[in-house]
């Protein structure tokens, strides 16, 4: 008998066919009326789950006593209770690597758009306000040749560093758990403690995962260390930055601007002060949102689930200790 798999993320016909060959597959559209109720009803049968953008709480997963594996179509796993999954012996897989370049592209798009005031001035043109040559009141700032500080030097951080150093001739500094000599050599990068990094950069880009350690990693005291001409870009998770402190710094002119793809609350509240600030470029968590990358992420998740439910070690295990305990 085939194992029961529920996916709550729509998949392409090719990926759906792959899963249907191996499993008793059911799709539940959580956005449809009664979608979440349907999921609750079907969870007792599920041995595998595949999806994203939905918090699978312990209370929900208690309804799935047969569950063996979850394939998350994402890199981040901050919405999962890892100690709970370990107690239950449930494998959790994610999709790293395949979205690295797309997120780095998005980070640099935000950096450039904020520095050159692209969104603000495009709206200005659309409003019919372009009546003469631009004056200083509408000037932006250069990106090339400046210093980029990176908080985090994982896959995405390194992809951003490559664009900055090789594409824009920027000096790259970074903070991480430890210096990475190979990155230093490849991109002329320099490891710095966070306080020194903040004080010396023209642009700051955040690309660390959200955890207890990184929650509000950048608060009021840290933001105060940034030069007033600095621009902050966040493509990690909203709560890595204290949003209230960020709003205050932007409103008071203690930061030149911010390019934000992530927020404390998503979707961002329509009345958020961030949406009323002309020096903020807000985007709707679009880092991996290209046709090519989302399909690659879904394909990776399918590969992970096929391996996990056939007794093979998935390539992208978030909790390898669960696998080890099975051996």
Give yes or no for a contact between 303 and 315, defined as CB atoms under 8 angstroms apart.
yes
Give Cα 2 distance to the centre of its chain: 34
Place of tokens 């392409």: 12
d(CA 223, CA 207): 16
Is 266 labeled as catalytic in the residue annotation?
A: yes
285 is catalytic: yes
Q: What is the torsional sign of CA 168, 170, 175, 179?
A: positive
DSSP for 107-154 reads HHHHHHHHHTTHHHHHHHHHTT---S---GGG-----TT-EEEEE--S
Tell me how far apart the alpha carbons of residues 243 and 280 are, in angstroms, rounded to a whole number.
Answer: 13
Phi and psi (nearest 5°) for 232? Answer: -105, 135
Q: Which residue among the candidates 265, 266, 276, 313 is catalytic per the annotation? A: 266
Q: Check 18, 285, 294, 299 and give the catalytic one.
A: 285
Active-site hit among 237, 256, 294, 299? 237
Q: Which residues are catalytic?
A: 237, 266, 285
């Amino acid at each position: 008998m085939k194992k029961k798999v529920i996916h709550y993320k729509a998949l392409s016909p090719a990926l759906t066919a792959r899963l249907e060959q191996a499993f008793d597959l059911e799709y539940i559209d959580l956005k449809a009326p009664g979608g979440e109720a349907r999921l609750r009803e079907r969870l007792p049968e599920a041995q595998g789950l595949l999806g994203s953008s939905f918090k699978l709480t312990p209370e929900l997963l208690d309804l799935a006593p047969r569950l063996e594996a979850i394939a998350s179509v994402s890199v981040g796993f901050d919405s999962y209770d890892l100690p709970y999954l370990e107690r239950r012996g449930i494998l959790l897989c994610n999709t790293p690597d395949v979205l690295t370049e797309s997120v780095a592209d998005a980070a640099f798009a935000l950096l450039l758009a904020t520095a050159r005031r692209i969104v603000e001035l495009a709206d200005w043109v659309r409003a019919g306000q372009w009546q003469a040559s631009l004056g200083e009141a509408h000037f932006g700032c250069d990106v090339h040749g400046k210093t980029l500080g990176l908080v985090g030097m994982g896959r995405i951080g390194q992809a951003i560093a490559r664009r900055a150093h090789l594409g824009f001739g920027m000096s790259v500094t970074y903070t991480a758990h430890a210096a990475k000599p190979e990155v230093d050599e490849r991109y002329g990068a320099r490891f710095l403690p966070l306080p020194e990094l903040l004080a010396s950069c023209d642009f700051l880009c955040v690309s660390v995962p959200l955890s207890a350690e990184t929650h509000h990693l950048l608060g009021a005291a840290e933001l105060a260390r940034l030069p007033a001409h600095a621009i902050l870009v966040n493509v990690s998770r909203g709560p890595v930055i204290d949003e209230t402190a960020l709003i205050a710094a932007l409103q008071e002119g203690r930061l030149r601007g911010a390019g934000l793809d992530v927020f404390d609350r998503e979707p961002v509240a329509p009345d958020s002060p961030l949406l009323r600030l002309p020096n903020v470029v807000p985007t709707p968590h679009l880092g991996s949102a290209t046709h090519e990358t989302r399909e690659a992420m879904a394909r990776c998740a399918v590969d992970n689930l096929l391996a996990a439910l056939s007794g093979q070690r998935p390539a992208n295990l978030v909790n390898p200790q669960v696998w080890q305990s099975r051996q």
